[in-house]
Amino acid sequence: MWDGVSGTFGWHLDSQVFYLGHPAYGGSEALSRCTVVEARCLWIGQDVPARTAYFYAYPHAPNQDEVYVFMATSPDRGEPPEAFRLYRMDSNGGNISALRTDEHPTRAALWADDGRGVLIVTASASDEIPADKLVWLPVDGSPAIRLPVIGSKMLRWGAGVTVTQAS
């Protein structure tokens, strides 16, 4: 599902702090907050040894105090879950709350700079969305929007690109 991805990154706007999520293995080390100047990373992922392993992918820091991240659980830290859900947490990994109720198997993700949502490429089919589709997930919980694009592998923002939701 993760096509060999070992880690996914998300920067703070000041470029001094970044977050590293590991979707392929779970545990407290699966999410780190790293500072560039101090060259130091702290594990901020959740962990309940012998019961629940937490997995993280595609973190995004929309401001200094919060991190948005795809998160899922599994009873085995070496067995990644099939689909992830979007969550919000504070910059140290606490105060976790769901941004959306739906889950998506995600091959790639690209956050809007302002944090209003994230584009994903689905990794496999779910009940509502087929595999290899481009989907916009607003963080306000409004419905996911399937976009008429197939086969996206590398997601990048370009000048003048806008995604809006029809009323």
Q: What is the 3-state secondary structure (H, E, C) of 96-124?
A: CEEEEEEEECEEEEEECCCCCEEEEEECC
| Mean pLDDT, range 105-120, rounded to an integer | 88
Give 33's Cβ-side CA count (13 Å radius).
18
34 assigned to some structural domain: yes
pLDDT in tens, 14-52: 788 889 898 888 888 889 899 888 888 889 888 777 788
155 assigned to some structural domain: no
162 assigned to some structural domain: no
Q: How many structural domains is the chain composed of?
A: 1
68 assigned to some structural domain: yes
102 assigned to some structural domain: yes
What is the CATH number for 57?
2.130.10.10
2 assigned to some structural domain: no
pLDDT in tens, 80-100: 888 899 999 999 899 999 999
User: Which residue segment(s) compose the domain that 100 sits in?
Assistant: 8-150
Is residue 18 a contact partner of residue 7, using CB atoms and an 8 Å limit? no
1 assigned to some structural domain: no
pLDDT confidence tier of residue 3, bands split at 50, 70 and 90:
very low
Region class of 2: left (phi > 0), else alpha (psi between -120 and 50), else beta: alpha
How far apart are alpha carbons 26 and 143 in whole angstroms? 28
How far apart are alpha carbons 165 and 93 in whole angstroms? 30
